[in-house]
Structure 1
Amino acid sequence: MATAKPILISLVGKALLVLPLTSILVCSPAMSDTQPGSTGDEKLLRSQADDYAKAFAAGNSKALADMWSSEGTFTDSEGREFRGRTAIEQFFASNFARYGKQPLVINVESIRFPTDGVAIEEGQTCTQQGNSLGNVSHYEAVHAKENGRWQMEAVTETECPKKFSDSLQDLAWLIGTWSAKCSPSSSIHLKADWAANHNFIRCTYGNPSADGEQSGAMTIIGRNPINGRIISWHFDSKGGSGSGKWLRDGQSWTERTTSVEPDGAMGSATYIIHKLDDNTFTWRSVDRSIAGAALPDRQELTVTRDGSK
Protein backbone atom coordinates (compact mmCIF):
# COMPACT_ATOMS: atom_id res chain seq x y z
CA MET A 1 0.00 0.00 0.00
CA ALA A 2 2.59 2.33 -0.81
CA THR A 3 1.08 5.29 -2.35
CA ALA A 4 2.63 8.05 -4.20
CA LYS A 5 1.40 10.41 -6.69
CA PRO A 6 1.69 9.81 -10.23
CA ILE A 7 -0.86 6.43 -9.24
CA LEU A 8 -1.13 6.05 -5.56
CA ILE A 9 2.14 7.80 -5.61
CA SER A 10 -0.70 5.91 -5.43
CA LEU A 11 2.70 7.80 -4.96
CA VAL A 12 4.09 9.16 -7.80
CA GLY A 13 2.62 8.58 -10.55
CA LYS A 14 1.56 11.41 -11.63
CA ALA A 15 2.76 10.89 -11.97
CA LEU A 16 2.56 11.95 -14.52
CA LEU A 17 2.55 15.44 -15.33
CA VAL A 18 1.68 14.18 -12.50
CA LEU A 19 2.31 12.45 -9.95
CA PRO A 20 2.95 9.82 -10.41
CA LEU A 21 1.42 8.54 -6.35
CA THR A 22 2.01 5.10 -5.11
CA SER A 23 0.09 3.31 -2.45
CA ILE A 24 1.13 0.46 -0.30
CA LEU A 25 -0.25 -1.53 2.49
CA VAL A 26 1.29 -1.07 5.80
CA CYS A 27 2.38 -3.06 8.68
CA SER A 28 4.10 -1.20 11.45
CA PRO A 29 6.30 -2.87 14.02
CA ALA A 30 4.37 -4.08 17.04
CA MET A 31 4.48 -6.74 19.69
CA SER A 32 1.72 -9.27 20.23
CA ASP A 33 1.05 -12.19 22.55
CA THR A 34 -1.65 -13.63 20.30
CA GLN A 35 -1.26 -16.96 18.52
CA PRO A 36 -0.35 -17.01 14.78
CA GLY A 37 -3.41 -16.74 12.62
CA SER A 38 -5.66 -15.84 15.52
CA THR A 39 -8.33 -13.17 15.57
CA GLY A 40 -5.88 -11.09 17.55
CA ASP A 41 -3.33 -11.25 14.74
CA GLU A 42 -5.88 -10.07 12.19
CA LYS A 43 -6.93 -7.19 14.43
CA LEU A 44 -3.30 -6.27 14.88
CA LEU A 45 -2.65 -6.22 11.14
CA ARG A 46 -5.73 -4.09 10.54
CA SER A 47 -4.60 -1.70 13.26
CA GLN A 48 -1.17 -1.49 11.66
CA ALA A 49 -2.83 -0.56 8.36
CA ASP A 50 -4.32 2.41 10.20
CA ASP A 51 -0.84 3.30 11.49
CA TYR A 52 0.47 3.16 7.95
CA ALA A 53 -2.21 5.57 6.72
CA LYS A 54 -1.36 7.98 9.56
CA ALA A 55 2.37 7.87 8.75
CA PHE A 56 1.63 8.45 5.06
CA ALA A 57 -0.61 11.43 5.80
CA ALA A 58 2.15 12.86 8.02
CA GLY A 59 4.77 12.42 5.29
CA ASN A 60 6.89 10.25 7.61
CA SER A 61 9.01 8.25 5.17
CA LYS A 62 11.15 6.66 7.90
CA ALA A 63 8.14 5.37 9.84
CA LEU A 64 6.76 3.88 6.65
CA ALA A 65 10.03 2.16 5.71
CA ASP A 66 10.37 0.71 9.22
CA MET A 67 7.18 -1.26 8.60
CA TRP A 68 9.13 -3.46 6.17
CA SER A 69 11.65 -6.12 7.12
CA SER A 70 15.31 -5.20 6.57
CA GLU A 71 15.31 -6.89 3.13
CA GLY A 72 11.65 -6.31 2.30
CA THR A 73 10.55 -5.20 -1.16
CA PHE A 74 7.99 -2.83 -2.58
CA THR A 75 6.92 -3.07 -6.23
CA ASP A 76 4.90 -0.08 -7.39
CA SER A 77 2.14 0.00 -10.00
CA GLU A 78 4.71 0.77 -12.72
CA GLY A 79 6.70 -2.36 -11.96
CA ARG A 80 9.61 -0.65 -10.20
CA GLU A 81 11.05 -2.64 -7.29
CA PHE A 82 12.57 -1.04 -4.20
CA ARG A 83 14.49 -3.43 -1.95
CA GLY A 84 15.44 -2.77 1.66
CA ARG A 85 14.35 -0.09 4.10
CA THR A 86 16.84 2.50 2.82
CA ALA A 87 15.58 2.31 -0.78
CA ILE A 88 11.95 2.32 0.34
CA GLU A 89 12.51 5.30 2.63
CA GLN A 90 14.22 7.21 -0.19
CA PHE A 91 11.30 6.42 -2.48
CA PHE A 92 8.78 7.88 -0.04
CA ALA A 93 10.97 10.86 0.85
CA SER A 94 11.35 11.76 -2.83
CA ASN A 95 7.62 11.57 -3.45
CA PHE A 96 6.70 13.56 -0.34
CA ALA A 97 9.24 16.22 -1.34
CA ARG A 98 7.61 16.50 -4.74
CA TYR A 99 3.92 15.99 -3.99
CA GLY A 100 3.63 16.82 -0.31
CA LYS A 101 1.64 15.07 2.39
CA GLN A 102 -1.65 13.48 1.37
CA PRO A 103 -4.40 11.74 3.34
CA LEU A 104 -4.54 8.04 2.49
CA VAL A 105 -7.53 5.70 2.75
CA ILE A 106 -6.77 1.97 3.14
CA ASN A 107 -9.52 -0.57 2.60
CA VAL A 108 -8.34 -3.98 3.86
CA GLU A 109 -10.39 -6.50 1.88
CA SER A 110 -8.94 -9.76 3.19
CA ILE A 111 -6.25 -11.23 5.45
CA ARG A 112 -5.40 -14.92 5.30
CA PHE A 113 -2.80 -17.01 7.11
CA PRO A 114 -1.41 -19.73 4.79
CA THR A 115 0.98 -20.95 7.49
CA ASP A 116 2.17 -20.05 10.96
CA GLY A 117 3.90 -16.69 11.05
CA VAL A 118 2.83 -15.64 7.54
CA ALA A 119 -0.10 -13.43 6.54
CA ILE A 120 -1.24 -12.27 3.11
CA GLU A 121 -3.23 -9.07 3.06
CA GLU A 122 -5.10 -7.64 0.06
CA GLY A 123 -7.02 -4.44 -0.39
CA GLN A 124 -7.18 -1.03 -2.00
CA THR A 125 -5.55 2.29 -1.21
CA CYS A 126 -6.64 5.71 -2.33
CA THR A 127 -5.21 9.16 -1.82
CA GLN A 128 -7.55 12.04 -1.01
CA GLN A 129 -7.37 15.36 -2.83
CA GLY A 130 -9.57 17.85 -1.03
CA ASN A 131 -13.07 16.41 -0.90
CA SER A 132 -12.47 14.03 -3.79
CA LEU A 133 -10.64 10.75 -4.17
CA GLY A 134 -7.32 10.62 -6.01
CA ASN A 135 -5.31 7.67 -7.26
CA VAL A 136 -6.63 4.19 -6.49
CA SER A 137 -4.44 1.07 -6.31
CA HIS A 138 -4.85 -2.58 -5.42
CA TYR A 139 -2.17 -4.07 -3.17
CA GLU A 140 -1.04 -7.42 -1.89
CA ALA A 141 1.21 -7.46 1.17
CA VAL A 142 3.01 -10.51 2.51
CA HIS A 143 3.68 -10.17 6.24
CA ALA A 144 6.03 -12.29 8.33
CA LYS A 145 5.96 -12.59 12.11
CA GLU A 146 9.23 -13.05 13.94
CA ASN A 147 9.71 -12.77 17.69
CA GLY A 148 6.12 -11.53 17.97
CA ARG A 149 6.61 -8.73 15.45
CA TRP A 150 4.75 -8.45 12.14
CA GLN A 151 6.61 -6.80 9.27
CA MET A 152 6.06 -6.61 5.54
CA GLU A 153 8.31 -8.85 3.44
CA ALA A 154 6.87 -8.03 0.01
CA VAL A 155 4.27 -5.53 -1.17
CA THR A 156 3.04 -5.36 -4.74
CA GLU A 157 0.81 -2.58 -6.01
CA THR A 158 -1.22 -2.54 -9.22
CA GLU A 159 -3.26 0.27 -10.70
CA CYS A 160 -7.01 -0.15 -10.44
CA PRO A 161 -8.96 0.34 -13.65
CA LYS A 162 -10.26 3.88 -13.80
CA LYS A 163 -12.32 5.63 -16.40
CA PHE A 164 -10.83 8.81 -17.82
CA SER A 165 -12.61 11.39 -19.93
CA ASP A 166 -9.46 12.29 -21.86
CA SER A 167 -9.58 13.04 -25.57
CA LEU A 168 -6.82 13.38 -28.13
CA GLN A 169 -8.61 16.51 -29.29
CA ASP A 170 -7.41 18.13 -26.07
CA LEU A 171 -3.91 17.88 -27.59
CA ALA A 172 -4.90 19.02 -31.08
CA TRP A 173 -3.11 22.33 -30.44
CA LEU A 174 0.18 20.37 -30.67
CA ILE A 175 -0.28 19.76 -34.38
CA GLY A 176 2.33 21.73 -36.32
CA THR A 177 6.06 22.43 -36.16
CA TRP A 178 7.83 23.82 -33.13
CA SER A 179 11.29 24.88 -31.99
CA ALA A 180 13.06 25.44 -28.67
CA LYS A 181 16.47 26.84 -27.78
CA CYS A 182 18.53 24.39 -25.74
CA SER A 183 21.46 26.81 -25.57
CA PRO A 184 22.60 29.93 -27.43
CA SER A 185 24.12 27.71 -30.12
CA SER A 186 21.70 24.77 -30.33
CA SER A 187 17.99 24.17 -30.71
CA ILE A 188 15.58 21.27 -30.95
CA HIS A 189 12.75 20.89 -33.45
CA LEU A 190 9.41 19.14 -33.10
CA LYS A 191 6.85 18.16 -35.70
CA ALA A 192 3.44 16.82 -34.65
CA ASP A 193 0.82 15.51 -37.06
CA TRP A 194 -2.23 13.29 -37.07
CA ALA A 195 -1.83 9.60 -37.91
CA ALA A 196 -4.08 6.58 -38.53
CA ASN A 197 -7.27 8.46 -39.31
CA HIS A 198 -6.80 10.97 -36.47
CA ASN A 199 -6.64 8.20 -33.86
CA PHE A 200 -3.04 9.00 -32.96
CA ILE A 201 -0.66 11.95 -32.86
CA ARG A 202 2.83 11.30 -34.22
CA CYS A 203 5.64 13.50 -32.90
CA THR A 204 9.14 13.52 -34.34
CA TYR A 205 11.81 15.64 -32.76
CA GLY A 206 15.55 16.05 -32.72
CA ASN A 207 18.49 18.20 -33.70
CA PRO A 208 20.55 17.95 -36.89
CA SER A 209 24.10 16.81 -36.08
CA ALA A 210 27.28 18.24 -37.57
CA ASP A 211 27.20 15.77 -40.46
CA GLY A 212 23.60 16.67 -41.29
CA GLU A 213 22.06 13.49 -39.88
CA GLN A 214 18.89 13.86 -37.86
CA SER A 215 19.50 12.73 -34.30
CA GLY A 216 16.21 12.46 -32.52
CA ALA A 217 13.24 10.38 -31.53
CA MET A 218 9.59 9.64 -32.22
CA THR A 219 6.59 9.56 -29.92
CA ILE A 220 3.16 8.15 -30.74
CA ILE A 221 0.33 9.50 -28.57
CA GLY A 222 -2.97 7.64 -28.37
CA ARG A 223 -5.86 6.79 -26.08
CA ASN A 224 -6.42 3.55 -24.19
CA PRO A 225 -9.84 2.35 -25.38
CA ILE A 226 -10.42 0.39 -22.16
CA ASN A 227 -10.10 3.19 -19.61
CA GLY A 228 -9.96 6.28 -21.86
CA ARG A 229 -6.54 7.40 -20.61
CA ILE A 230 -4.01 9.14 -22.84
CA ILE A 231 -0.96 6.90 -23.36
CA SER A 232 2.19 7.10 -25.46
CA TRP A 233 5.05 5.09 -26.91
CA HIS A 234 8.58 6.43 -27.33
CA PHE A 235 11.33 5.35 -29.73
CA ASP A 236 14.79 6.89 -30.02
CA SER A 237 17.31 6.74 -32.84
CA LYS A 238 19.74 4.58 -30.83
CA GLY A 239 17.28 1.74 -30.31
CA GLY A 240 15.78 2.58 -26.92
CA SER A 241 12.04 2.52 -26.35
CA GLY A 242 9.48 3.26 -23.66
CA SER A 243 5.89 4.03 -22.83
CA GLY A 244 4.01 6.56 -20.76
CA LYS A 245 0.69 7.34 -19.08
CA TRP A 246 -0.69 10.87 -19.11
CA LEU A 247 -2.68 12.87 -16.60
CA ARG A 248 -4.20 16.27 -17.28
CA ASP A 249 -4.54 19.11 -14.80
CA GLY A 250 -6.02 22.17 -16.50
CA GLN A 251 -3.53 23.34 -19.13
CA SER A 252 -0.80 20.99 -17.87
CA TRP A 253 -0.14 17.38 -18.83
CA THR A 254 2.08 15.06 -16.83
CA GLU A 255 3.45 11.91 -18.41
CA ARG A 256 5.05 9.21 -16.27
CA THR A 257 7.29 7.02 -18.41
CA THR A 258 9.32 3.85 -18.16
CA SER A 259 11.94 2.91 -20.72
CA VAL A 260 14.48 0.36 -21.82
CA GLU A 261 17.82 1.73 -22.98
CA PRO A 262 19.73 0.22 -25.95
CA ASP A 263 21.98 -1.64 -23.48
CA GLY A 264 18.97 -3.11 -21.65
CA ALA A 265 19.08 -0.77 -18.64
CA MET A 266 15.69 0.24 -17.25
CA GLY A 267 14.85 3.92 -16.91
CA SER A 268 12.02 6.19 -15.83
CA ALA A 269 11.13 9.87 -15.97
CA THR A 270 8.25 12.30 -15.61
CA TYR A 271 7.60 14.79 -18.43
CA ILE A 272 5.60 17.93 -17.74
CA ILE A 273 4.01 19.99 -20.51
CA HIS A 274 2.29 23.27 -19.72
CA LYS A 275 0.40 25.12 -22.44
CA LEU A 276 0.88 28.88 -22.19
CA ASP A 277 -1.13 29.75 -25.32
CA ASP A 278 -1.82 28.28 -28.76
CA ASN A 279 1.72 29.07 -29.87
CA THR A 280 3.79 28.46 -26.75
CA PHE A 281 4.30 25.70 -24.19
CA THR A 282 6.95 24.68 -21.69
CA TRP A 283 8.50 21.22 -21.32
CA ARG A 284 10.64 19.72 -18.60
CA SER A 285 11.79 16.31 -17.43
CA VAL A 286 12.06 15.41 -13.72
CA ASP A 287 12.35 12.33 -11.49
CA ARG A 288 14.79 10.77 -13.96
CA SER A 289 16.67 7.55 -13.34
CA ILE A 290 18.66 4.94 -15.26
CA ALA A 291 19.49 1.49 -13.86
CA GLY A 292 18.30 2.63 -10.44
CA ALA A 293 20.59 5.68 -10.34
CA ALA A 294 18.97 9.12 -10.02
CA LEU A 295 19.73 11.69 -12.72
CA PRO A 296 19.42 15.48 -12.47
CA ASP A 297 16.26 17.18 -13.73
CA ARG A 298 16.38 18.66 -17.21
CA GLN A 299 16.16 22.42 -17.67
CA GLU A 300 12.72 23.74 -18.55
CA LEU A 301 12.41 24.57 -22.24
CA THR A 302 10.07 27.12 -23.76
CA VAL A 303 8.78 25.77 -27.07
CA THR A 304 7.28 28.09 -29.70
CA ARG A 305 5.33 27.37 -32.86
CA ASP A 306 7.39 28.01 -36.00
CA GLY A 307 6.36 31.21 -37.74
CA SER A 308 4.42 32.52 -34.76
CA LYS A 309 6.83 35.39 -34.12
Structure 2
Amino acid sequence: MRIEQVKSVTMTCLTAAWGMLLCLTPAVADQAADKQAADEQAIREAVAAYVAAYNRGDAAAVAAMWSPDAVYTNPLSGEQVVGREAVEKQFATIFSESKGAKLIAETNSVQFVSPNVAIEKGTATVQQGDDLADATEYSAVYIKRDGKWLLDRVTETDPPPGDSPGAEQLKQLDWMIGLWVDADQQATVTTKCQWTKNHNFMLRMFSVAAEDQVDFAGLQIIGWDPAKQQIRSWVFDSDGGFGTGEWTQKGDAWHIKATGTAADGSKSSAVNILSYLDPNTFTWQSVNRVVAGELLPNVDEVVVRRQDSQP
Protein backbone atom coordinates (compact mmCIF):
# COMPACT_ATOMS: atom_id res chain seq x y z
CA MET A 1 0.00 0.00 0.00
CA ARG A 2 1.38 3.36 -0.94
CA ILE A 3 1.99 5.92 1.76
CA GLU A 4 -0.79 8.13 0.44
CA GLN A 5 -3.25 5.23 0.78
CA VAL A 6 -2.10 4.57 4.36
CA LYS A 7 -2.63 8.23 5.23
CA SER A 8 -6.05 8.17 3.62
CA VAL A 9 -7.15 5.06 5.52
CA THR A 10 -5.76 6.42 8.77
CA MET A 11 -7.54 9.73 8.36
CA THR A 12 -10.77 7.94 7.47
CA CYS A 13 -10.52 5.80 10.61
CA LEU A 14 -9.68 8.79 12.76
CA THR A 15 -12.55 10.76 11.29
CA ALA A 16 -14.94 7.91 11.97
CA ALA A 17 -13.56 7.50 15.49
CA TRP A 18 -13.91 11.22 16.28
CA GLY A 19 -17.40 11.15 14.81
CA MET A 20 -18.37 8.35 17.18
CA LEU A 21 -16.73 10.19 20.08
CA LEU A 22 -18.56 13.39 19.26
CA CYS A 23 -21.81 11.47 19.13
CA LEU A 24 -21.10 9.86 22.49
CA THR A 25 -19.73 12.96 24.28
CA PRO A 26 -23.08 14.65 25.14
CA ALA A 27 -24.45 11.47 26.67
CA VAL A 28 -21.26 10.83 28.62
CA ALA A 29 -21.16 14.44 29.76
CA ASP A 30 -24.79 14.26 30.87
CA GLN A 31 -24.09 11.10 32.84
CA ALA A 32 -21.07 12.71 34.53
CA ALA A 33 -23.09 15.82 35.35
CA ASP A 34 -25.93 13.74 36.78
CA LYS A 35 -23.48 11.73 38.90
CA GLN A 36 -21.83 14.87 40.26
CA ALA A 37 -25.21 16.45 41.02
CA ALA A 38 -26.22 13.29 42.89
CA ASP A 39 -22.95 13.34 44.83
CA GLU A 40 -23.41 17.01 45.72
CA GLN A 41 -26.93 16.29 46.94
CA ALA A 42 -25.60 13.38 49.02
CA ILE A 43 -23.04 15.69 50.66
CA ARG A 44 -25.69 18.31 51.43
CA GLU A 45 -27.86 15.59 52.97
CA ALA A 46 -24.85 14.44 55.01
CA VAL A 47 -24.48 17.98 56.36
CA ALA A 48 -28.16 18.03 57.38
CA ALA A 49 -27.82 14.62 59.06
CA TYR A 50 -24.69 15.83 60.89
CA VAL A 51 -26.55 18.89 62.21
CA ALA A 52 -29.47 16.73 63.36
CA ALA A 53 -27.15 14.29 65.18
CA TYR A 54 -25.26 17.17 66.80
CA ASN A 55 -28.48 18.79 68.01
CA ARG A 56 -29.60 15.46 69.51
CA GLY A 57 -26.29 15.27 71.39
CA ASP A 58 -25.62 11.88 69.74
CA ALA A 59 -21.82 11.53 69.79
CA ALA A 60 -21.88 8.05 68.24
CA ALA A 61 -23.97 9.22 65.29
CA VAL A 62 -21.73 12.24 64.75
CA ALA A 63 -18.58 10.09 64.84
CA ALA A 64 -20.09 7.63 62.34
CA MET A 65 -20.13 10.44 59.77
CA TRP A 66 -16.34 10.78 59.93
CA SER A 67 -13.94 8.53 58.01
CA PRO A 68 -12.16 5.79 60.04
CA ASP A 69 -8.86 7.70 59.98
CA ALA A 70 -10.28 11.23 60.10
CA VAL A 71 -8.45 14.04 61.90
CA TYR A 72 -10.68 16.20 64.11
CA THR A 73 -9.47 19.51 65.56
CA ASN A 74 -11.38 20.92 68.53
CA PRO A 75 -12.05 24.57 67.52
CA LEU A 76 -11.94 25.73 71.15
CA SER A 77 -8.88 23.92 72.52
CA GLY A 78 -7.01 23.26 69.28
CA GLU A 79 -6.57 19.62 70.35
CA GLN A 80 -6.35 17.12 67.49
CA VAL A 81 -7.58 13.53 67.60
CA VAL A 82 -7.45 10.80 64.97
CA GLY A 83 -10.04 8.12 64.25
CA ARG A 84 -13.72 7.62 64.90
CA GLU A 85 -13.33 6.37 68.45
CA ALA A 86 -11.38 9.45 69.46
CA VAL A 87 -13.83 11.71 67.61
CA GLU A 88 -16.73 10.13 69.49
CA LYS A 89 -15.02 10.75 72.83
CA GLN A 90 -14.39 14.38 71.88
CA PHE A 91 -18.03 15.00 71.02
CA ALA A 92 -19.26 13.13 74.10
CA THR A 93 -17.21 15.59 76.18
CA ILE A 94 -18.45 18.59 74.16
CA PHE A 95 -22.09 17.55 74.57
CA SER A 96 -21.69 16.97 78.33
CA GLU A 97 -20.15 20.43 78.80
CA SER A 98 -22.58 22.34 76.59
CA LYS A 99 -25.96 20.72 77.12
CA GLY A 100 -28.64 22.09 74.86
CA ALA A 101 -26.22 23.66 72.37
CA LYS A 102 -27.64 23.85 68.87
CA LEU A 103 -25.71 23.80 65.61
CA ILE A 104 -26.82 25.74 62.55
CA ALA A 105 -24.89 25.09 59.33
CA GLU A 106 -25.32 26.44 55.82
CA THR A 107 -23.48 25.03 52.81
CA ASN A 108 -22.20 27.73 50.46
CA SER A 109 -20.45 25.54 47.87
CA VAL A 110 -19.35 22.00 47.03
CA GLN A 111 -16.29 21.53 44.80
CA PHE A 112 -15.06 18.15 43.53
CA VAL A 113 -11.30 17.60 43.56
CA SER A 114 -11.75 14.10 42.15
CA PRO A 115 -14.67 11.67 41.79
CA ASN A 116 -14.10 10.55 45.39
CA VAL A 117 -12.92 13.77 47.08
CA ALA A 118 -14.94 16.95 47.57
CA ILE A 119 -14.56 20.18 49.53
CA GLU A 120 -17.67 21.65 51.12
CA LYS A 121 -17.50 25.27 52.30
CA GLY A 122 -20.05 26.99 54.48
CA THR A 123 -20.84 28.83 57.70
CA ALA A 124 -21.72 27.36 61.10
CA THR A 125 -23.12 28.78 64.32
CA VAL A 126 -23.38 27.08 67.71
CA GLN A 127 -26.12 28.63 69.85
CA GLN A 128 -26.16 28.09 73.61
CA GLY A 129 -29.43 29.10 75.24
CA ASP A 130 -30.31 32.68 74.27
CA ASP A 131 -26.72 33.57 73.39
CA LEU A 132 -26.23 34.57 69.78
CA ALA A 133 -22.88 33.21 68.65
CA ASP A 134 -21.03 34.67 65.69
CA ALA A 135 -20.92 32.45 62.61
CA THR A 136 -17.63 30.81 61.66
CA GLU A 137 -16.56 29.91 58.16
CA TYR A 138 -15.50 26.33 57.60
CA SER A 139 -14.00 24.13 54.91
CA ALA A 140 -14.81 20.39 55.12
CA VAL A 141 -13.02 17.66 53.16
CA TYR A 142 -15.30 14.75 52.25
CA ILE A 143 -14.11 11.42 50.89
CA LYS A 144 -16.26 8.73 49.31
CA ARG A 145 -15.88 5.23 50.78
CA ASP A 146 -18.09 2.27 49.92
CA GLY A 147 -20.52 4.63 48.21
CA LYS A 148 -20.87 6.94 51.22
CA TRP A 149 -19.50 10.45 51.66
CA LEU A 150 -17.63 10.84 54.96
CA LEU A 151 -15.91 13.75 56.68
CA ASP A 152 -12.12 13.55 56.70
CA ARG A 153 -11.21 16.90 58.29
CA VAL A 154 -12.70 20.33 58.92
CA THR A 155 -10.99 23.70 59.14
CA GLU A 156 -12.79 26.56 60.87
CA THR A 157 -11.96 30.26 60.79
CA ASP A 158 -13.64 33.25 62.39
CA PRO A 159 -14.69 35.79 59.78
CA PRO A 160 -12.63 38.97 60.03
CA PRO A 161 -14.41 42.12 61.20
CA GLY A 162 -16.03 43.90 58.30
CA ASP A 163 -14.34 46.86 56.69
CA SER A 164 -17.66 48.59 55.99
CA PRO A 165 -18.27 52.14 57.22
CA GLY A 166 -20.62 50.75 59.87
CA ALA A 167 -18.03 48.41 61.35
CA GLU A 168 -15.45 51.19 61.32
CA GLN A 169 -17.75 53.65 63.11
CA LEU A 170 -18.84 51.13 65.76
CA LYS A 171 -15.22 50.53 66.81
CA GLN A 172 -15.71 53.60 69.01
CA LEU A 173 -18.14 51.56 71.12
CA ASP A 174 -16.24 48.27 71.35
CA TRP A 175 -15.64 48.89 75.08
CA MET A 176 -19.35 48.11 75.57
CA ILE A 177 -18.91 44.46 74.56
CA GLY A 178 -19.42 42.19 77.57
CA LEU A 179 -21.66 41.61 80.58
CA TRP A 180 -22.61 44.59 82.75
CA VAL A 181 -24.63 44.96 85.97
CA ASP A 182 -26.14 47.91 87.85
CA ALA A 183 -27.68 46.86 91.16
CA ASP A 184 -29.17 48.50 94.22
CA GLN A 185 -31.55 47.43 97.00
CA GLN A 186 -34.58 47.66 94.75
CA ALA A 187 -33.56 46.15 91.40
CA THR A 188 -30.75 44.69 89.30
CA VAL A 189 -30.23 45.74 85.71
CA THR A 190 -28.19 43.28 83.64
CA THR A 191 -26.96 44.11 80.14
CA LYS A 192 -25.11 41.81 77.76
CA CYS A 193 -23.57 43.36 74.64
CA GLN A 194 -22.07 41.45 71.70
CA TRP A 195 -21.18 41.85 68.05
CA THR A 196 -23.12 40.50 65.12
CA LYS A 197 -21.23 38.86 62.25
CA ASN A 198 -18.60 41.16 60.66
CA HIS A 199 -19.15 43.75 63.43
CA ASN A 200 -21.73 45.69 61.44
CA PHE A 201 -24.15 45.81 64.40
CA MET A 202 -24.05 45.47 68.19
CA LEU A 203 -26.73 43.65 70.17
CA ARG A 204 -27.51 44.68 73.75
CA MET A 205 -29.84 42.35 75.65
CA PHE A 206 -31.08 43.80 78.94
CA SER A 207 -33.27 42.69 81.83
CA VAL A 208 -34.53 44.29 85.03
CA ALA A 209 -35.04 41.97 88.00
CA ALA A 210 -36.50 42.57 91.43
CA GLU A 211 -36.05 39.88 94.08
CA ASP A 212 -34.59 37.52 91.45
CA GLN A 213 -37.69 37.82 89.23
CA VAL A 214 -37.29 39.40 85.79
CA ASP A 215 -39.90 42.15 85.49
CA PHE A 216 -38.77 43.73 82.25
CA ALA A 217 -36.45 42.78 79.38
CA GLY A 218 -35.60 43.80 75.87
CA LEU A 219 -33.18 44.03 72.98
CA GLN A 220 -31.30 46.99 71.58
CA ILE A 221 -29.63 46.99 68.15
CA ILE A 222 -26.91 49.58 67.54
CA GLY A 223 -25.68 50.35 64.03
CA TRP A 224 -24.41 52.98 61.62
CA ASP A 225 -27.00 54.90 59.59
CA PRO A 226 -25.23 55.73 56.29
CA ALA A 227 -28.02 58.11 55.25
CA LYS A 228 -27.79 60.25 58.39
CA GLN A 229 -24.07 59.58 58.85
CA GLN A 230 -24.74 58.82 62.51
CA ILE A 231 -24.79 55.93 64.96
CA ARG A 232 -28.38 54.97 65.71
CA SER A 233 -30.13 52.40 67.88
CA TRP A 234 -33.42 50.54 67.86
CA VAL A 235 -34.90 49.05 71.02
CA PHE A 236 -37.74 46.59 71.61
CA ASP A 237 -39.02 45.69 75.08
CA SER A 238 -40.97 42.81 76.59
CA ASP A 239 -44.03 45.01 77.24
CA GLY A 240 -44.48 45.65 73.53
CA GLY A 241 -42.84 49.06 73.39
CA PHE A 242 -40.20 50.17 70.91
CA GLY A 243 -38.02 53.17 70.22
CA THR A 244 -35.05 54.70 68.44
CA GLY A 245 -31.99 56.66 69.48
CA GLU A 246 -29.53 59.00 67.79
CA TRP A 247 -26.01 58.86 69.22
CA THR A 248 -23.68 61.87 69.44
CA GLN A 249 -20.22 61.71 71.01
CA LYS A 250 -19.10 64.47 73.36
CA GLY A 251 -15.65 63.70 74.76
CA ASP A 252 -15.82 60.38 76.62
CA ALA A 253 -19.61 60.53 76.80
CA TRP A 254 -22.30 59.55 74.34
CA HIS A 255 -25.54 61.55 74.32
CA ILE A 256 -28.43 59.46 73.00
CA LYS A 257 -31.53 61.36 71.91
CA ALA A 258 -34.18 58.70 72.44
CA THR A 259 -37.82 58.57 71.40
CA GLY A 260 -40.23 55.74 72.11
CA THR A 261 -43.72 54.38 71.80
CA ALA A 262 -45.23 52.37 74.65
CA ALA A 263 -47.59 49.43 74.20
CA ASP A 264 -50.56 51.72 74.89
CA GLY A 265 -49.47 54.11 72.14
CA SER A 266 -48.17 56.87 74.40
CA LYS A 267 -45.02 58.68 73.34
CA SER A 268 -41.84 59.35 75.31
CA SER A 269 -38.53 61.09 74.83
CA ALA A 270 -35.30 61.57 76.78
CA VAL A 271 -31.59 62.18 76.48
CA ASN A 272 -29.62 59.25 77.88
CA ILE A 273 -25.94 59.78 78.63
CA LEU A 274 -23.32 57.00 78.66
CA SER A 275 -19.93 58.07 80.03
CA TYR A 276 -16.89 55.80 79.65
CA LEU A 277 -14.70 55.75 82.78
CA ASP A 278 -12.41 52.76 82.25
CA PRO A 279 -12.59 49.31 80.55
CA ASN A 280 -14.65 47.97 83.44
CA THR A 281 -16.83 50.95 84.36
CA PHE A 282 -19.21 53.44 82.79
CA THR A 283 -21.99 55.70 84.06
CA TRP A 284 -25.55 56.17 82.82
CA GLN A 285 -28.09 58.89 83.42
CA SER A 286 -31.27 60.13 81.78
CA VAL A 287 -32.33 63.76 81.46
CA ASN A 288 -35.06 65.79 79.74
CA ARG A 289 -37.52 62.96 80.23
CA VAL A 290 -41.04 63.39 78.86
CA VAL A 291 -43.71 60.66 78.99
CA ALA A 292 -47.17 61.17 77.50
CA GLY A 293 -46.57 64.93 77.46
CA GLU A 294 -45.56 65.06 81.13
CA LEU A 295 -42.09 66.21 82.20
CA LEU A 296 -40.48 63.73 84.61
CA PRO A 297 -37.52 64.16 87.00
CA ASN A 298 -34.05 63.32 85.73
CA VAL A 299 -32.53 59.97 86.62
CA ASP A 300 -29.35 60.55 88.63
CA GLU A 301 -26.07 59.17 87.32
CA VAL A 302 -25.52 55.50 88.19
CA VAL A 303 -22.33 53.46 87.94
CA VAL A 304 -22.41 50.29 85.84
CA ARG A 305 -19.68 47.70 86.25
CA ARG A 306 -18.38 44.89 84.09
CA GLN A 307 -19.08 41.37 85.33
CA ASP A 308 -16.84 39.44 82.95
CA SER A 309 -13.21 39.76 81.91
CA GLN A 310 -12.47 42.50 79.41
CA PRO A 311 -12.82 41.05 75.88
TM-score (normalizing by structure 1)? 0.44
Q: Please identify which structure carries the higher helix content.
A: 2
| Structure index of larger Rg | 2
Greater RCO (CA < 8 Å, at least 6 residues apart): 1
Q: TM-score, normalised by structure 2?
A: 0.44
